[in-house]
Amino acid sequence: MLKGKKALVTGASRGIGRAIAIKFAENGAIVGINYFKDDEGARKTLNSVKEYGEGILIKGDVGDFEEAGKIVRKFVDFAGNIDIVVNNAGIYIRKNFEEIDEKQWDETLRVNLKGSFNICKHAIPYMNEGGKIIFISSQLAFKGSSHGADYAASKAGLLGLMRSLAIELASKKINVNAIAPGTIDTDIIAGYSKEEREERKRQIPLKRIGKPEDVASVALFLASDLANYITGEVILVTGGLYIR
């Protein structure tokens, strides 16, 4: 589905980002694997990607404007251009509003929201007609959160950025969409007890916690030509936990 396409995936050393990078490689894409700190995790992603095709590790902080530019340029030097951007990099520190201080608020928005702006700002000049931009948001962008107002706000902000870019880039035939995952089995829920996991399963209509691959499959669709007439949309991947 993505044969010969060049895809840059941020935050791809683990979880949803890793699953997307691997899924893209399985379907023929050349993959840029961006990450910030987890060298070992990034190498695991690269090894999996190389089972199917070409990939490159690109270490860097998306929240820093100049560093984001270096991330994009390194991938372009490797691949030649960019067809697909997946803005997945993000942080989530579980605290209620009373506990969130200014430093945490600023850092969450710097990485989650400004990081996506930074990557898009540098990447779009290298994208041609038929390009795809995908933002990984969250169901909390709609629901809010009692333990992550900063995270929910950053993910809601991504949707405003996504919709604006969808309108602006339509004339260039670049599609821009978002995915809003629900409870997915990643590091974010690693601290759940067995009882908490079972309670969450009971709340989800499909009666299971999502897998990173569930999100990756939707990203594959949005990155492919099958989604050429879809732009400015949000697809929820929640197992029915949040239906709007």
Mention every residue, 6+ apart, whose C-beta is less than 8 A from residue 202.
none
Give Cα 14 to chain centroid, integer Å.
11
In this structure, the dihedral spanned by the alpha carbons of residues 209, 157, 101 and 193, taken in order and rounded to 10 degrees, is 0
Nearest to 109 by CA among 94, 90, 122: 90
Q: Would you please indicate which residues are annotated as catalytic (active-site) residues?
A: 151
Q: For every residue of 165-205, which 3-state class applies, written as one string?
A: HHHHHHHHCCEEEEEEECCECCHHHCCCCHHHHHHHHHHCC
Q: What angle do CA 88, 90, 94 make, to 5 degrees?
A: 140
Nearest to 8 by CA among 31, 42, 25: 31
